[in-house]
Chain A
Amino acid sequence: MRGDHGRALFTSDLSVNEFLLVREAGFRPVGLVLGSSVYHVGLQVGRWSKNMELDKLTQAMYHARELAMTRMEAEAAELGADGIVGVRLEIEFKEYGNDLAEFLAIGTAVVADEPPPSGTWRTVHGLPFTSDLSGQDFWTLVQAGYAPLGLVMGTCVYHIAHRGVLASMSTVGSNVEIEQYTEALYDARELAMSRMQAEAEALQAEGIVGVQLMSLPHRWGGHTTEFFAIGTAVRPLRADHTIAKPSLVLPLTDGPR
């Protein structure tokens, strides 16, 4: 994609501030990249009175996201990118029917002006790094001597047991913990988080920043929920981290823009 003066034209969905900060951090945006997968998620029903993971649904939700991410990464690799910043991972149910959802990964591919002290910005698998951090967060991270490695995620679709009549009767009118529910929610979240962690370990990350843990009910009814954890795995670029001391300012506007 070349402009008429022989200079590259690129598109990005970064805001102007993000765009300028990414440049400031030593990266040039090279293009908007996206990957998409329309997925038929299928059906799996949990046993009425049992807490259990619905592994087929878990697999489908994970596979669909992975397809979208891989396609986005492939598009970035084709542009010769070192990484992708500001990645958004979206799920949208389409008008074509309830059983179909589009999984979409969208971000801005960037090329570094210089390689980092450790050699390459790409991941251990030779792919561009991915990160869902905003331009501002990305700049701060690089300033502090860290590099994003990759988006890591874990998911778990869980069926929370219905309570039997006897069990419900025994707690009528009293304020007590429903241990069965608590346990189910713990289990499901733990599964999602540990899967995310395993991905970070596979990337040889030092840690994960900006983790979001979501409960997504989708369209399965009240007792089936997807627990989804996502974050950016990071690694240190150098041994000595110097984190700039911030100065205090009082902006004249309300809140972040």
Chain B
Amino acid sequence: MSPWAGGLPPAALARVERQRAGGATGSFLSAPGAAAVAAAGLAPVGEVFGCLVMNLGWSGGFCGAWATTSGPGVWGWTSPVVTTGDPGGLRNGSGPYVRAVDAAWHGALERMLTEARALGADGVVGVRTTRAHLDGSAVEFTARGTAVRELARTAPGTLWCAGLSAEDVAAALGSGFAPRALVRGLSVATKHEDPLMMQQRSSWSGNEVDGLTELLTRARADARRGLTLDARRHGSGHVVVDDVRLGTFETQCGDGKDLHAEASFTGTLLTEVGPPGAGRAPAVLTVLPLNR
């Protein structure tokens, strides 16, 4: 078997080779999508794919909140919330898990972009990322999309990608916005179950559970901060968020339990091309569609 090259496994290299040699270009585009990218001056050069299987074997020393203080005894009535974005947060609690997932997600995306680069593409539209649990602690991360070439471009620039559909990319380009990159923020927040929470949960009447509200809010706030930081790496612009997730789980911690919230925000960074408003689309045409 031939070895890996340029960060890609042999099968991916063979596919790139075949796509380069063959006359037909593949794409994930629908017919309207293909028409839309053509109208925006883009031509598909092939479908691209990236995959990375990560062993999430060690998800970090749980009892993360515990590690930052000297034990549940000192908290008294309420316990603190710690997030992986806190100073030093990546070293305790769920930090290793967040780092591994981030690396795997970006790794799969990077492999997809490497394929696109090898095909001489300028960008990738309609990028979809997936995360699937295989067996044990193995998790597969994938990214796929349709690589496109800018017909008007003479010299190759930086490779861009967009989680937006082909139609949306065309609409954005037509209005003076160019997609730059897929950006993402991920965070896990942890809180030890404290007496206040238990009391608030056991009443007959309804009331807010302050600790859990704080836990979820902090997880989301930290993930959004991560999203902004990720976007900053590519410069300024507008992030169109298309995926907001929040998962919850709990782990045993001493005699009690730790509650965790995992939040993620994924989006596409758009930058304004030229001076603000330069490429503004003509005024919107009001139409009355005949279907439905």
Chain A residues near B (Cβ < 8 Å): 1, 3-5, 7-17, 19-21, 23-24, 29, 32, 34, 36-44, 56-57, 59-61, 63-64, 67, 71, 92, 94-97, 99-100, 102, 106, 139, 143, 244-257
Instruction: Enumerate chain A residues within 8 angstroms of B250, measured Cβ to Cβ.
Output: 95-96
What's the dominant secondary structure at chain A's contact region? mixed
Across the interface, do A254 and B208 meet the contact criterion of CB distance under 8 Å?
Answer: no
Q: Given A9, A15, A57, which contacts B228 in the complex, CB threshold below 8 Å?
A: A9
Q: What is the minimal beta-carbon distance from A13 to any residue of chain B, in angstroms?
A: 4
Which chain A residue has the least Cβ–Cβ distance from B288?
Answer: A246
Across the interface, do A9 and B207 meet the contact criterion of CB distance under 8 Å?
Answer: no
Across the interface, do A139 and B207 meet the contact criterion of CB distance under 8 Å?
Answer: no
A64 to B285, CA, bound (A): 41
Instruction: Enumerate chain B residues within 8 angstroms of A102, measured Cβ to Cβ.
Output: 212, 216, 246
- Beyond known contacts A9-B239, A10-B239, A21-B284: 11 more, CB 8 A cutoff: A9-B228, A13-B241, A20-B281, A36-B213, A36-B216, A43-B204, A94-B212, A95-B250, A139-B284, A247-B285, A251-B291
Which chain B residue has the least Cβ–Cβ distance from A251?
Answer: B289
Across the interface, do A11 and B228 meet the contact criterion of CB distance under 8 Å?
Answer: yes
Q: What is the minimal beta-carbon distance from B183 to any residue of chain A, in angstroms?
A: 9
* B231 interface contact, C-beta 8 A: yes
* B32 interface contact, C-beta 8 A: yes
Closest 5 CB pairs of A and B: A3-B236, A60-B206, A38-B212, A42-B206, A246-B288
Across the interface, do B208 and A39 meet the contact criterion of CB distance under 8 Å?
Answer: yes
13 A-B residue pairs with CB within 8 Å = A9-B236, A9-B238, A11-B228, A14-B240, A16-B172, A17-B168, A17-B171, A32-B224, A38-B213, A95-B248, A96-B250, A102-B246, A247-B286
Q: Mark B255-275, 1 if CB is under 8 A from A, else 0.
A: 000010000010100100000
A255 to B246, CA, bound (A): 31
What's the dominant secondary structure at chain B's contact region? mixed
Known: A40-B206, A253-B32. A12 touches B283 (CB 8 A): no
* B27 interface contact, C-beta 8 A: no
Q: Given B201, B224, B259, B284, which contacts A11 in the complex, CB threshold below 8 Å?
A: B224
Which chain A residue has the least Cβ–Cβ distance from B233?
Answer: A4
Which chain A residue has the least Cβ–Cβ distance from B171?
Answer: A16
Q: What is the minimal beta-carbon distance from B201 to any residue of chain A, in angstroms?
A: 5
Q: Given A16, A42, A96, A250, which contacts B248 in the complex, CB threshold below 8 Å?
A: A96
Interface residues of B in 164-217 (CB under 8 A from A): 164, 167-169, 171-172, 175, 177, 200-201, 203-209, 212-213, 215-217
Q: Given A36, A41, A255, which contacts B206 in the complex, CB threshold below 8 Å?
A: A41
* B227 interface contact, C-beta 8 A: yes
Q: What is the minimal beta-carbon distance from B125 to any residue of chain A, in angstroms?
A: 12
Instruction: Enumerate chain B residues within 8 angstroms of A34, measured Cβ to Cβ.
Output: 220
Q: What is the minimal beta-carbon distance from A5 to any residue of chain B, in angstroms?
A: 5
A253 to B284, CA, bound (A): 19
Q: Given B267, B286, B292, which contacts A255 in the complex, CB threshold below 8 Å?
A: B292
* B39 interface contact, C-beta 8 A: no
Across the interface, do B208 and A37 meet the contact criterion of CB distance under 8 Å?
Answer: yes
Q: What is the minimal beta-carbon distance from A211 to any residue of chain B, in angstroms?
A: 20
